[in-house]
Structure 1
């Protein structure tokens, strides 16, 4: 199969789920090309980017200016310099009769420019976020023969983006979409609420290669400090303020405690100031971004992992967090929240504990329990590892992704795989009834 991935940024260190799908499909013998709005820094990218020479498969898409006058002027210039290379493609992108608004607003033209000199035939256009959907529609309209269009919803595209744009933000796009995937059942229901058909969407988790994460049961040695860690962007939805407050509470009882926060972002100054106000500089540390090997090294020395995600003021929410999967794969008991898709990953009381969002006292209480009962750490870690292996193994999930593509291309499934004829694409998920009433979305 020939597959085009549409992404906002590539390569992107925080989006290994895209990279894992790209390399998995290549390993299975498929041709994958990556079209991106912004090309990242190849020098600081994931090792697999170099191993697979993905820069040879990555094509930048020209930015579409918001200002319509500048968009028209730039579009005229782009058409002028590229029309001799692909005259039919450029002219087709300007066909108002056939394509209406997308031709008039020049989205088709800007997409056509990205396709000049590129393959003109794909089987699948896979938009890695719903926000890439309108660009995906432009690909579908311009390419010959017409590919199948698949949208993957991952988080902000079905939470913050919908809150900002309204419930009709995808309405014009949906008639031309062949199938949807969501990376958790929580977001699948969000897509259904927008009017999407239940037999044309499935849950497809973001996976990881568990072989890259060595499992080790966590045990506390005499006189050893208890080490906690969090990995993620320093933004509101990660809820780090509440974790810092909870750790500071427990440090009064357990002075032999350290908390390492890996990552960076706009809240770095505010979080550092909070640490200073709590007089916690000696045991809570913001260490900035680390590469994958450095993160694994830090987590290997830790005993517990904290992921206190919250719903941000702009509506942004998390799916089952990838760093949580990695921590669980390594045997770390986890402390997280009843938030978004996280209850589909963390089984409360089995692999860790869940508490309501924005509740530092509840976080502190559950953290205190874990600190008081280190004898439970190995069983919690084993349960987490087994759950990740069973539901989030990247090889299994990439095989299922290929099944989705195959069924989309099957003549009997030209409107997309139906619930009656597809292999279940997700494991049994925790019932929504498991959520406390106070955190129902």
Structure 2
């Protein structure tokens, strides 16, 4: 049983640690309901009362000291933060630091300093690996779709270019707002050039595969999950952010294709998926590794992350062939959510290490962008209705799997 935290330690110091931890967890991609639960648990252990209000771009944390008369110690922190990105290594480190502070293994000042130390910039080796991870994930998704070798190579090349744009964006503030549209425009330009001057491509599919890391599938899933958890403001904001990303990707793609049409460039388009099953299996392995890199997992967690990503895809694929795609996605999400809760319960580390990679190949990001892109290309809303309905089915199956996974094996840790 955890010992009570000594409340003789400064009230302001305890608040500062909780606020710092909250900002870190938010920036590492934690959803609203899990973040609020984690912050309340840490605050209670530190002898604080905390009422958090979290949304994708900020937090309001209202603190009070239960040992003082009501109103004497009320403190409110308003924290403005950009939308977070999944960083499994830093998430695990922040969780470990919080656990050590609550257990009395390290002091508040030491814990605060350890959290700030997580801000160190990545090495050039890490940057290069991440850029290559973009290319590998794009080529792997094209392989999972059994596209021809030229399509796979093109998607991989474009993925590397997208990774370079993603690396440049924080260093060029003017790129930030237009980075998604710029990446999509470059992706479509390269794909059109290859299809026009080298060989025919599954054009739209190659563009979507090359932009797979930018697709808002995880954001859509988290948004609906937050809405079902009654975090209405956060869920609505996250959903709006996902839609805006879809629009920027579509706009960038259409700009490139329209310019090519105006210049009289006619890409050769085909619908051909000739690859055997072994290519799909190899692509699954490489995709699992690529997402371990892109989620910035600790090297010791690579086997767990890769196994989770591969298991989620295989469960969905096999169950989908037997009972239909929605059933496969539901079973996969449910089992991986339960597995993540079990991992957190018994291994004492964040369940996101299992849960997030487990559903990444199931989320409907590519399908949602495809539906919008098809509707804009054909100037007909009905053209994208089938894909839009597929997005809805995937979202419903995923969220149902997440909800019932938590019922199958309840989480004892919020992360």
TM-score norm. by structure 1 comes to 0.26
Q: Counting helix residues as a fraction of each chain, which structure ranks higher?
A: 2
Q: Counting strand residues as a fraction of each chain, which structure ranks higher?
A: 1
